[in-house]
Amino acid sequence: MRLTDQQRTIIRGTVAETFGVGAHVWLFGSRVDDNKRGGDIDLLIETDQIDVDDIVRAEIAFLVKIQMKLGEQRIDVLLDYPSRKIQSPIFLIAKQTGILL
């Protein structure tokens, strides 16, 4: 995994701060592979929040806070939540191939 311990701690803490302590976060994509270089940080955040407006506000807050804490980085976020009506295959792929932080 190509994240430092400090980066993992910051990501987990910021997810808990913005989505709640029950939220889970997976790193997936190229950053999971130690043999690759570069690449953005791909995260799947699973929250138990139901209200879409609250989820959108939490996502915006997360992106602002994580950029402030990690510095300017390309970060892609997928959000999974109980009231999601359509489940794209990327969610399953992210969980299967990703690493729970």
User: Is this structure's pTM higher than 0.85?
Assistant: yes
Name the average pLDDT for the chain: 90
Domain with 92 in it: 5-100
Express each pLDDT in 10-30 by its tens digit: 999 999 999 999 999 999 988
Tell me 38's DSSP state: -
Q: What is the sign of the dihedral through the CA atoms of 87, 59, 34 and 13?
A: negative
The more confident residue out of 86 and 77 is: 77
Q: What is residue 83's predicted lDDT score, i.e. its pLDDT? A: 84
Q: What is the CA radius of gyration of the chain?
A: 13
The H or E element that residue 76 is part of is: strand 75-80
> How far apart, in whole angstroms, are the C-alpha atoms of residue 33 and residue 43?
14
CATH of the domain at 45: 3.30.460.10
Question: What is the edge-to-edge ordering of all strands in the sheet holding 75-80?
Answer: 75-80, 41-46, 24-28, 99-100
Q: Residue 18 has what pLDDT?
A: 97
- Model pLDDT for residues 37-83, shown as the tens digit of each residue: 767 899 999 999 999 999 999 999 999 999 999 988 899 999 999 98
Structure tokens at 25: 């976060």
Considering its fold, how many domains does the chain have in total? 1
